[in-house]
């Protein structure tokens, strides 16, 4: 993974509301959840949530699909795994030599 992608993903997750959204979607699994449901669960205005969903989408951390008049969002587990791999690889390299548990 490129550094730019990693920064974009980290920035997307580095915000309380968005991290909460992402966790909801992880919990929901591949079935995902509707935008409105998420807005209500998190107690924020639809426009606010839409903004954050777009941020997460741009970072490729989630994906939305239209389902009738709802838009269902689901976590992109492959992307999240790539990010974790990047962080383990690039931010923990000294580990084996120095007792880091990665």
Partner DNA sequence: TCCATATTTTTACAATCGTTGAAATATTGA
Partner DNA sequence: TCAATATTTCAACGATTGTAAAAATATGGA
Binding site for DNA (CB under 7 A): 11, 14-17, 34-37, 39, 44-55, 64, 66, 68-71
**Structure-derived torsion over alpha carbons of residues 11, 36, 23, 12, reported in degrees to the nearest 10:** 0
Helical spans, DSSP H, in the chain: 3-13, 16-28, 35-42, 46-58, 77-91, 95-98
Contacts of 45 (CB under 8 A, 6+ apart): 39
Distance between CA 23 and CA 26 in Å, rounded? 5
Q: Which does 77 bind (CB under 5 to 8 A by kind): DNA, its own copies, none?
A: its own copies
Q: Which does 41 bind (CB under 5 to 8 A by kind): DNA, its own copies, none?
A: none
Measured from the CB of residue 28, what is the shortest distance to its own copies in angstroms? Answer: 8
Q: Which residues bind its own copies (CB under 8 A)?
A: 3-4, 6-7, 10-11, 13-16, 19-20, 22-23, 26-30, 75, 77, 80-81, 83-84, 87-88, 90-95, 97-102
């Amino acid at each position: 993974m490129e550094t730019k992608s990693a920064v974009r993903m980290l920035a997307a997750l580095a915000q309380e509301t968005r991290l909460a959204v992402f966790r909801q979607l992880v919990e929901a699994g591949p079935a995902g959840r509707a935008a409105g449901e998420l807005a209500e669960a998190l107690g924020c205005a639809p426009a606010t949530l839409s903004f954050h969903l777009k941020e997460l989408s741009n970072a490729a951390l989630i994906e939305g699909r239209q389902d009738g008049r709802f838009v269902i969002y689901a976590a992109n587990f492959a992307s999240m795994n790539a990010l974790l791999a990047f962080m383990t690889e690039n931010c923990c390299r000294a580990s084996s030599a120095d007792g880091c548990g990665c």
